[in-house]
Amino acid sequence: MRKLFGTNGVRGILNKSISVETLVRLGYAIGTYFEGGRLLVGMDGRIGSPIAKEATVSGLLAAGCEVLDLGLAPTPVIQYDARFNEVDGCVIFTASHNPPEYIGVKVCGSDGVEIPREGEEKIESIFFEGSYKLAEWDMVGRVRNVTGSIERYIEAVIRHVDRHLIAKHRYRVVVDPGNGVSSLTIPHILKALGCEVYTINDHIDGRFPGRLPEPSEENLSGLIKAVKVFDADLGVAYDGDGDRAVFVDEEGVFHPGDRSLALIEDYVMEKKPGAILVTPVSTSQVVDDIAERRGGRVIRVKVGSVDVSWAMKKLNAELGGEENGGVFYGLHQPVRDGGITTVLILHILAVRDMKLSEALSMLPVYHIIKRRVQCRDEFKHKILSILEEKVKDIGIKVEKVDGLKIWLDNREWVLIRPSGTEPIYRVIAEAPSYERAEKLAEEYTKLIIETARSLSG
């Protein structure tokens, strides 16, 4: 079966791996899937996004869809506005954290949640079979602009926290949107919460001149420096489309996304014992420790925000989260949302009257090491079954939610997983000590390389 959708929508480089013609036909296919319904569209600040939007929208209109155009906005704003506009679905033009040359198309339902995998497969089969239903000449759709979305979103986010308590602390916050669209919302949200706001890389620029759109530690040296220079209480950085947030504490120390997730989890489960966190198999076991401490539950799913959102909907879960800084807050919307993540962290600091470093130091410490191993797509499946055979007697158990997760003991695991989007295998190892995690990552990387060699040789 040929594929269009990866882990997170359709992605490609305009005029190279994805053409305008493809986007128009994708518009036909999406329009056919929604039976010519009413769709909300919006985009990130990438150079190719306006072209991607115009091309796809042409296809949607030809398929008889009515299109509401929200314009430039963070992904969670577009998702949040779906219900307000009573649409049948949304189409969001974003390549999230990918390098600047990429564009992307993400399809969501009437509640703003990405359509399930089966929906993506349906669109793919309409696309590849060419079984579009195009409208008669006088039944094609029209575009209408939507206003007020950003303001609605900002209000909605603030409603979830104690704004007066946060305002009393007059937090000094450095914001790094990384030249992405979260500069449209975050500084305004923080000002409404009485924060003193400093920004870097805050003009929207699809070339991402300030830093790459992925908010990883190596891309955030500017933010780390700025937190110290401005003597701030914390720094926060977003990916290109603003659905993920990661934090730097008052000492200028970067914290991986699963640490801030665990802090939010601790707060949610303290408030509501028995609360559920949905998270992929790759997230640190720190979330299991917190759930045990607070009497909550952790449900593990495949890697990817679609799987987290759908499990949350099914279980009516309070919280979802990923190690990359994606936090899904059920009371707001079951999709990842950098705005709600930011205000929840401020709320927790205000309620506990703690510095960020102090609040995070209450969490158990683990070390995660990640590796990538090149592997041709055609071998991926074969390698996985050979590895499965090789590891079945190692450790105390093997889980197969996504790839193979081998538990060496109660506190050490290795996850080996073929990437859904690139010709690579990912190896993630976690242990209480850095040295041990590194040793495990090394060992299992070698195992994959040897297995691949035995196949191609």
Q: Which two tokens stand for residue 368?
A: 């995660």
Q: How many angstroms separate the Cα of 448 from the Cα of each of 113, 312, 454? A: 35, 33, 10
Residue whose CB is less far from Mg ion, 64 or 112: 112
**Least distance in angstroms from the C-beta of 92 to Mg ion:** 10
Whether the CB-CB separation of 383 and 425 falls below 8 Å is answered with yes
Q: Is 218 left (phi over 0), alpha (psi -120 to 50) or beta?
A: alpha
In the complex, which residue's CB is closest to Mg ion? Answer: 96
**Least distance in angstroms from the C-beta of 9 to Mg ion:** 10
Largest CA distance in the chain: 68
DSSP string, 335-391: EE-HHHHHHHHHHHHHHHT--HHHHHHTSPP-EEEEEEEE--HHHHHHHHHHHHHHH
Residue whose CB is less far from Mg ion, 241 or 412: 241
Residue whose CB is less far from Mg ion, 32 or 149: 149
* CA atoms of 264 and 262, how far apart (whole Å): 5
Q: Which of the ranges 90-98, 117-125, 132-140, 290-298 carries the binding residues for Mg ion, by CB under 5 A? A: 90-98
Per-residue string for binding with Mg ion, 313-342, x by CB under 5 A?
A: ------------------------------
Query: Among residues 203, 454, 216, 189, which one has the least CA distance to residue 324?
Result: 216
Residue whose CB is less far from Mg ion, 58 or 75: 75
Number of residues that bind Mg ion (CB under 5 A): 4
**Least distance in angstroms from the C-beta of 305 to Mg ion:** 8
* CA atoms of 332 and 327, how far apart (whole Å): 11
Residue whose CB is less far from Mg ion, 102 or 254: 102
**Least distance in angstroms from the C-beta of 392 to Mg ion:** 36
* CA atoms of 26 and 5, how far apart (whole Å): 11
Residue whose CB is less far from Mg ion, 243 or 322: 243
Secondary structure class of 422 (helix, strand, coil): coil
Q: Where are the beta strands (DSSP E) in 76-195?
A: 89-93, 102-108, 143-145, 172-176
**Least distance in angstroms from the C-beta of 243 to Mg ion:** 4
456 tagged catalytic: no
Identified catalytic residue from 17, 19, 49, 96: 96
Per-residue string for binding with Mg ion, 231-250, x by CB under 5 A?
A: --------x-x-x-------
Decide if residue 124 touches Mg ion (CB under 5 A).
no
Q: Which of residues 347-376 bind Mg ion (CB under 5 A)?
A: none
**Least distance in angstroms from the C-beta of 96 to Mg ion:** 3
Whether the CB-CB separation of 388 and 404 falls below 8 Å is answered with yes
Q: At a CB cut-off of 8 Å and minimum separation 6, what does 389 contact?
A: none
**Least distance in angstroms from the C-beta of 229 to Mg ion:** 28
Using CB under 5 A, pick the residue from 22, 58, 79, 96 that binds Mg ion.
96
Q: Is 342 left (phi over 0), alpha (psi -120 to 50) or beta?
A: alpha
Residue whose CB is less far from Mg ion, 82 or 166: 82
Q: Which of the ranges 91-99, 126-134, 174-182, 255-263 carries the binding residues for Mg ion, by CB under 5 A? A: 91-99
Binding site for Mg ion (CB under 5 A): 96, 239, 241, 243
Q: Would you please indicate which residues are annotated as catalytic (active-site) residues?
A: 96
